[in-house]
Amino acid sequence: MHAALVARPGSCIRRLAGTRAREIQFTRFLRNGSVTATKMAAHAAERTAARAAGRDVVVIQDTSELALGGRRAKANGYGPVGKGGALRGLLLHAVLAMDAGTGGVLGLVEAKVWNRKGGKVTDRRSRKTSNKESQRWLDGTMRAGEVLVAAGNITGVSDRESDIYEHFARRPDNVHLIVRACQNRKIETNDPDQINLLFGHVDSLPEQGRFEVKIPAAPGRKARTAEIAVRFSLVVLRKPLHGAAADLPATITLTMVDVRETSAPKEGKPVHWRLLTTHAVTNLGEARRIVDLYRMRWAIEEFFHTLKTAGFDIEAADIGDPQAMIKFVAAAAVAAVTVIQLVKARDGTTDQSLADAFDPADQPILEAVSTQLEGKTARQKNPHPRGSLAFAGWVIGRLGGWTGYYGKPGPRIMRQGLDDFQRIKYGASLRLQNV
């Protein structure tokens, strides 16, 4: 099924299978009790671990809701997603590993899919983190420390929802964290006249430098280059009064890196990131490093975009059994990594091998197709070395409809190119005696 999802991304089992026999095979696979989403994710993590060995790795995690319908989905047993509870579906928490130096996608560390139960829950402050969905952030970080134990360095990056005191307190020794702050926490201060709230303290600090960063496009805003002002300081966070486990330390020392755009953009709100990190920050260069690592978080947004709209259209899947759908989402998540790898590798900056996303037997086919696609001008020739993932990205992009002249191939183009490549690969495998 993984090969079919990579070759022909989509949410229709019949189209994925191609034949009636394979359709039955895929359906039985999804309904097999011994097949689990956990095992699929674990297999993908083994491959990621091998690629990450010795590298400086950034681990990005986030959660996305998969809306699968309304009344019909509810009748089939899907839990509530979104606001108001009218929509039903699943949730996917993905943990993605990237090379911190090149930005290349190494693979999945974890992909947790679950069906939320309906009904009222007790107040969040009266519940332990282990009894909340928030536990997924701690689990993702713990899993990264286990899977990527052979990596040179590991930095976990996550957004505001992961700003949990216990997340910092229980992180593995081999994992650093960069978390966008959400809670205006109480902090320890030596001076009784100082502000003892996190945000007020940082806002009172003098500006320590400025630099420019590229802000990616997002709903309601175009990509732009922004000048940001930087402040940073050590902060000692106090343990929360409610909901924190008794065995947590009374305080945790972290560094706050505060970055904010110096002028109002024409579209959207100005950037203001308050980043809590376990990394030491003593100068502007180290502060910029934290900002650059946090900006890599955008890759997981691209991953979800590919899974939901730009490639796999996972929310259009018509699978009535939630347990079977959980397995299908896990398989699609593993396959979507290949598309993202190609998108990231297309410029040749990730220095990745073809083997990171393709079988060794695919190389001669890719090289033959590249020769056929190349034109006479320099811009019509594949500029990347054979055996590299960038070489494959050029071929797949051209097959997907990219001309080589305008823009760059995105997830949708790469998905279409992979579909065409599979047809070519199948044709190459035929023998005349079988005709």
List the chain domain ranges. Answer: 2-336, 346-434
pLDDT at 423: 84
pLDDT at 426: 76
Which CATH number is 2-336 given?
3.90.350.10
pLDDT string in tens for the chain (435-residue length): 545 555 455 545 555 555 555 555 556 556 666 678 999 899 999 999 999 999 999 999 999 999 999 999 999 999 999 887 789 999 999 999 999 999 999 999 999 999 998 655 555 565 777 778 999 999 999 999 999 999 999 999 999 999 999 999 999 999 999 999 999 999 998 776 667 899 999 999 999 999 988 887 776 678 888 899 999 999 999 999 877 888 999 999 999 999 999 988 887 788 899 999 999 999 999 999 999 999 999 999 999 999 998 778 899 888 888 999 999 999 889 889 999 999 999 999 999 999 888 888 999 999 999 999 998 888 889 999 999 999 999 999 999 999 888 889 998 899 889 888 988 987 877 654 454
pLDDT at 407: 87
pLDDT at 236: 95
* CATH for 346-434 (1.10.740, 2.10.109, 1.10.10, 3.30.450): 1.10.740
Contact 357, 344 (CB under 8 A): no
Amino acid at 269: K
Establish how many alpha carbons lie within 13 A of residue 18's alpha carbon, considering only the half-sphere containing its beta carbon. Answer: 11
pTM of the complete model? 0.86
Q: How far apart are CA 79 and CA 115, in angstroms?
A: 6
